[in-house]
Amino acid sequence: MVYDLLIPTAIIGGIGLLSGLGLSIASKKFEVKVDERVGMIREVLPGANCGACGQTGCDAFAEGVVEGKCKPNACPVGGQEVADKIGEILGVKAEAAVVKVARVMCSGTYESCKQKYEYSGIEDCAAAAPLFGGPSACTYGCVGLGNCKRACPFDAIVMINGLARIIESRCKACEKCVASCPKRIIKIVPKSNEYTVACSSLDKGAVVRKNCTVGCIGCGKCSKVCQHGAIEVQGTLAKINPDACINCSECIGVCPTGAIKKYKCEI
Amino acid sequence: MELFYIVMEALSRLGSLMTITISALLVKNFVLSQFLGICPFLGVSKKLSTATGMGFAVTFVMTIASLVTRLLYNRLLVTYGLEYLQTILFILVIAALVQLVEIILKKFVPPLYRALGIYLPLITTNCAVLGVALLNVDVGYDVLESTVYGFAAGLGFTLALVLFAGVREKLEYSNIPESFKGLPIALISAAFVSLAFFGFQGLLGI
């Protein structure tokens, strides 16, 4: 009677014990060493896995920082706060993180920019763009079907009147939109840089004027008025160098078409 | 003459093993005909690469589990007349094996380990693995047959997973009505794949 109970218990218990022993030996033998700092850094990261740091996700970034492959301040989403925390964990002083923001280098809404034809295909910029350069008369401008809006993990892009607008307070400069735009008109710039030429057209001035009321015609007035040498007209398009610009607002006053835009600085 | 009998014996043995293999692979495919192991079938079949990895992990566990459980059943349980312990013993063995696979994968194939995620420990409770161990006993296969059956069942699982992952990768690019997106269309297509496998019914006369 006792044996009826003892033998099954011994068998199950024995096998359990044996496999437990085997497993613990295996786990010691095949142990994977993980730096505990990786976990700590992973904790302070935002966890959006957006890939803006250039790594595949927050886990990879945490590993990269510990291994020295990534800079502690390379997370654009977390910004200074996260950089400081990572610096604390690693025991180094983090360099100041430059806060960046995405800007759409186009101002052509339905009103200001003419339409070549009426597009009725699927709602996708990349699908519309190859059709004669998109429905917009300007082949360089915003297609307006919202690929960037759908790509944005932070809900920071709105489509207003056929033009993508970025809500700068939400933008984390993760560059998802940059990659999603078939016209490549979204650029990442320092947030402290208030003035931007919101046009990407490389057409000649007359052509730009014909198509769009707010395009840069390359007249060069801004470049002449700028006392800091921050504006250069390349071909028929003015470009503001963010490093030299001091936000003096001279250029915006002389621009005949209003292609230079002021973006509110919130930091 | 004696040699002839030995050869014939070996051939008929091989033939029965082939029958077992094809039966487990196609006719009685664990996922698509017996509906075992549906959880990982739906969970890990989004990408072809992870589906293949999961399939081979399950195949490995199934083969070893069949062999070990069959041996334990024959040597221990039958000897002591404790056949009623089979379920709990099999679960114990399978759990230990899955842990072993997990440790090995974590060490040697970290990308696969990360891709499989929660589904790897879930092989423990995958009814297909326990099912193959219990079926071995039910049908009365011997040790070699059990191992082959386990291996073939694992391959069948892999086949089902890989086929379905291919279907789902195609689905990603199809224009599906809003209400069918995601799991609903996956379940519908799973039904069609399963229906296709019913075409093997009657093959081999089993």
- Which of A8, A19, A22 is opposite residue B92, by nearest beta carbon? A19
Q: Which helix (H) or strand (E) holds A238?
A: strand A237-240
pLDDT at B156: 93
Are the C-beta atoms of A188 and A77 separated by less than 8 Å? Answer: no
Q: Which residues pair with A136 in a beta bridge?
A: A115
Tell me if A11 and B85 make a contact (CB, 8 A cut-off).
Answer: yes
Judged against a pLDDT cut of 90, whether residue B146 lies above it is answered with yes
Strands A260-262 and A163-166: unpaired
Global pTM reads 0.57
Average pLDDT, chain A: 85
% of residues, chain A, pLDDT over 90? 8
Asked whether residue A266 carries a pLDDT value surpassing 50, the answer given is: no
Confidence of residue A96 (pLDDT cuts 50, 70, 90): low
Would you call A11 helix, strand, or coil by DSSP? helix
**How would residue B205 be classed by pLDDT, with cut points 50, 70 and 90?**
low
According to the model, what pLDDT value does residue B148 have? 93
Of the candidates B92, B100, B108, the beta carbon closest to that of A15 is on B92
Whether the CB-CB separation of A144 and A163 falls below 8 Å is answered with yes
User: Do A200 and A106 meet the contact criterion of CB atoms below 8 Å apart?
Assistant: yes
Indicate the annotated binding residues of A for [4Fe-4S] cluster. Answer: 50, 53, 58, 75, 138, 142, 148, 152, 171, 174, 177, 181
With CB atoms and an 8 Å threshold, state whether B103 touches A7: no
Mean per-residue pLDDT for B166-170? 89
C-beta atoms of B80 and A30 within 8 A: no
| φ, ψ of residue B60 in degrees (nearest 5) | -60, -50
Q: Assign A51 a pLDDT band (cuts: 50, 70, 90).
A: confident
AA letter at A189: V
DSSP chain B: -HHHHHHHHHHHHHHHHHHHHHIIIIIT-TTTTT--SHHHHHHSTTSHHHHHHHHHHHHHHHHHHHHHHHHHIIIIIHHHT-GGGHHHHHHHHHHHHHHHHHHHHHHH-HHHHHHHGGGTGGGGG-HHHHHHHHHHHHHT--HHHHHHHHHHHHHHHHHHHHHHHHHHHHHHTS---GGGTTHHHHHHHHHHHHHHHGGGTTGGG-
CA pair distance A159, B126, nearest whole angstrom: 47
* Residues of B within an 8 Å Cβ radius of A: 72, 76-77, 80, 82, 85, 88-89, 92-93, 95-96, 99-100, 103-104, 106-108, 110
Element containing residue A12 per DSSP (H, E):
helix A2-29
What does the pLDDT average to over A24-34? 83
- Report pLDDT for A267: 36
Q: Which residue of A has its CA nearest to B87?
A: A12
- Answer for the pair B122, B54: CB distance below 8 angstroms, yes or no: no
Give just the sign of the alpha carbon dihedral B93, B99, B101, B104: negative
Q: Does B51 score more than 80 pLDDT?
A: yes
Q: Express each pLDDT in B75-127 by its tens digit.
A: 888 888 888 888 888 999 889 888 888 888 888 888 878 777 777 787 887 88
Q: Which of B85, B95, B107 sits opposite A12 (nearest CB)?
A: B85
- Looking at per-residue confidence, does A93 or B171 come out higher? B171
The residue type of B143 is: V
| pLDDT tier, B192 (very low <50, low <70, confident <90, very high otherwise) | very high
Q: What is the ipTM of this complex?
A: 0.70
pLDDT score recorded for residue B77: 86
Q: What is the pLDDT of residue A186?
A: 92
Mean pLDDT is lowest, of A75-89, B148-162, B168-182, for: A75-89
Q: All domains of chain A, ordered by start, with CATH?
A: 36-90 (1.10.15.40), 100-262 (3.30.70.20)
Position A86 confidence tier, pLDDT thresholds 50, 70, 90: confident
Stretch A53-62: mean pLDDT: 79
The H-or-E segment that residue A40 falls in is helix A36-44
**Tokens 């091989």 belong to which residue?**
B14
Q: Which two tokens stand for residue A92?
A: 């180094």
Residue A237 is encoded by which pair of tokens?
């398009």
Q: If pLDDT is split at 50, 70 and 90, which confidence band does A82 have? A: confident
Statement: residue B154 has pLDDT above 90: yes
Mean pLDDT of A65-73: 79
